[in-house]
Chain A
Amino acid sequence: MKTIFKSLLAITVVSLVLSSCGNGSSSKKGALSSSVAEKVYVAPGEHDEFYAFVSGGFSGQLAVYGLPSGRLFKVIPVFSVDAEKAYGFNEETKPMLNTSHGFIPWDDSHHPDISQTNGELDGRYVFINGNNTPRIAKIDLTTFETTEIIEIPNSAGNHSSSFVTENTEYVVAGTRFSIPFPQRDMPIDEYKGNFKGALTFISVDPKDGAMDIKFQIMMPGFNYDLSHPGRGKSHGWFFFTTYNTEEANSLLEVNASQNDKDFIAAINWKKIEEYVNNGGGKKVPSRYAHNVYSDETHSATSTIKKEVLIVNPSDVPGAVYFLPTPKSPHGCDVDPTGEYIVGNGKLSADLTIHSFSKMIKAIEDKKFTGEAYGIPILDFDAVHAGTVKQSGLGPLHTEFDGKGNAYTTFFISSEVVKWKIGTWEVIDRKPTYYSVGHLMIPGGNSRKPYGKYVLAMNKITKDRYLPTGPEVTQSAQLYDITGDKMELLLDFPTIGEPHYAAGIPADIVAKNSKKIYKLEESKHEFVTKSEADSKVVRDGNEVHIYMTMIRSHFAPDNIEGIQVGDKVYFHVTNLEQDYDVPHGISMIGAQTSELLIMPGQTETFVWYPKQVGVWPFYCTDFCSALHQEMQGYVRVSPKGSKVPIKFTLDGDAVDAE
Chain B
Amino acid sequence: MKFKVVVLAVVVIFVTSCGNEKKEEKSSAPVEVKKEVVKKEATTNPMDDKGIGPITSLTLADIDETMVAEGKELFKMKCSACHKISKRVVGPALAGITERRSPEWIMNMILNPEEMVAKNPIAKKLLAEYLAPMANQNLTEKEARVILEYFRTKKAK
Contacts and interface: CB of A to CB of B under 8 A. Distances in A.
B137 interface: yes
Nearest to B136: A578
Given A625-B24, A626-B26, A577 B89 contact: no
A407 to B, nearest CB: 41
B132 A552 contact: yes
Select the residue from A531, A622, A624, A628 with max chain B CB neighbours within 10 A: A624
A550 B82 contact: yes
Nearest to B26: A625
Contact of B20 (A580, A627, A657): A580
Contacts of B136: 577-578
Select the residue from B20, B22, B75, B86 with max chain A CB neighbours within 10 A: B22
**Chief secondary structure at chain B's binding surface:** loop
Interface string B128-141: 00011101111100
A625 B16 CA distance: 13
B7 to A, nearest CB: 17
Interface in A525-555: 529-532, 548, 550-553, 555
B70 to A, nearest CB: 12
A648 to B, nearest CB: 13
Contacts of A623: 22
B10 to A, nearest CB: 12
Interface string A630-657: 0000000000000000000010000111
A626 B132 CA distance: 7
B90 interface: yes
A520 interface: yes
**Chief secondary structure at chain A's binding surface:** loop
A379 to B, nearest CB: 65
Contact of B135 (A529, A548, A551, A650): A551
A625 to B, nearest CB: 4
A576 interface: yes
Contacts of B133: 551, 624
A529 B77 contact: yes
Contacts of B89: 650
A657 B138 contact: no
Interface string A452-488: 0000000000000000000000000000000000000
Contact of B80 (A530, A551, A579, A626): A530
A62 interface: no
Interface size class of B (residues with CB under 8 A): 20 to 34
B84 A655 contact: yes
A646 B38 CA distance: 41
A256 interface: no
Given A577-B138, A580-B20, A625 B80 contact: no
B22 A580 contact: yes
B17 A625 contact: yes
A551 B77 CA distance: 15
Interface in A491-546: 515-516, 519-520, 529-532
Given A580-B22, A624-B22, A625-B17, A656 B80 contact: yes
A578 B26 CA distance: 21
Select the residue from A516, A529, A577, A580 with max chain B CB neighbours within 10 A: A577
A656 B78 contact: no
Contact of A577 (B25, B26, B72, B78): B78
Contact of B132 (A515, A532, A622, A625): A625
A581 interface: yes
Select the residue from B20, B77, B86, B89 with max chain A CB neighbours within 10 A: B77
Contacts of B72: 656
A575 interface: yes
Interface string B66-106: 00000010011110111011100110000000000000000
Given A625-B25, A625-B132, 20 more contacts: A515-B138, A531-B80, A531-B81, A532-B76, A532-B80, A551-B133, A575-B77, A575-B78, A577-B78, A577-B137, A577-B139, A579-B20, A622-B22, A622-B23, A650-B89, A656-B72, A656-B84, A656-B85, A657-B85, A657-B86
27 contacts: A519-B77, A519-B78, A530-B80, A531-B81, A532-B80, A550-B82, A552-B90, A552-B132, A553-B90, A575-B81, A577-B78, A577-B138, A580-B22, A581-B22, A581-B135, A624-B22, A624-B132, A625-B24, A625-B25, A625-B27, A625-B131, A625-B132, A626-B132, A650-B89, A655-B84, A656-B84, A657-B86
Interface of A: 515-516, 519-520, 529-532, 548, 550-553, 555, 575-581, 622-628, 650, 655-657
Interface of B: 17, 20, 22-27, 72, 75-78, 80-82, 84-86, 89-90, 131-133, 135-139
